[in-house]
Amino acid sequence: METFTPPRDLVENDRYPDERRAALAALDLTAVDEPIVDVVEAFAPLPHVFTLQCCFGHFLTAPEQDEHSLAPIPDGHNGPVRYRIAYVAFGIEDSGRGRAFLDRLSRIPAIAPAYVQFGSAEWFWAQWLNSYTLQVEPAAHEYKDQAVLTVAEALRAQRVRARFFDELRRVLAEEHRRGAAR
């Protein structure tokens, strides 16, 4: 499944208020991976953005392992790891605040350019104009929603995933401070 394409330019979208309202009404925090519920909650009050989908990312080391397991890679594991990507997909309002926030979000890959990408996904864009994705995936697999990694690469991806969500939390907190200062 294609999960990533280069970012598209923002376009005028008269449907944005309705799309945001519908996305927030459909939001079910019990369906969100527990480690990132706070991230999704932090997006919700911002009027110039809304989340579409997200995943904490899953590191699967055994064939019978639950695909939604939040377990880290076990100490001593030395086999392959099937990694299901960590990502956040969101819609942005074509406004001054939306463009400025999108610019800040687009800089997050700088924390680990070989593992973090910012872009669009055609299948999201077809449903929601001005939709974007931030994802954690080794660059060699950036166009896939999962990949089989060596344990060394999976451990690096696991560390990057933690930094990614920490940085996203920091950017969101800064955005809330900016909003409170207005």
pLDDT of residue 1: 46
Count Cβ neighbours within 10 Å for each residue of 128-160 and write b for 16 or more, e otherwise. Answer: bbbbbbbbbbbeebbebbbbebebebbbbbbeb
Contact between 137 and 100 (Cβ < 8 Å): no
pLDDT at 121: 82
Give the start-to-end residue ranges of the domains of the chain.
Answer: 16-181
User: Is 106's pLDDT higher than 90?
Assistant: yes
Is it the case that residue 3 has pLDDT exceeding 70?
A: no
Which burial class, exposed, middle or buried, applies to 58 when counting CB atoms under 10 A from its CB (0-12, 13-18, 19+)?
Answer: buried
Angstrom distance (rounded) from CA 164 to CA 147: 19
User: Is pLDDT at 130 greater than 50 in this prediction?
Assistant: yes
The letter for the amino acid at 107 is: R
CATH 3.30.1960 assigned to 16-181? yes
Q: Given this model, what pLDDT does residue 182 score?
A: 64
- Indicate the pTM of the whole model: 0.94
The position carrying tokens 């939390």 is 169
pLDDT tens-digit map of 24-63 = 999 999 999 999 999 999 999 999 999 999 999 999 999 9
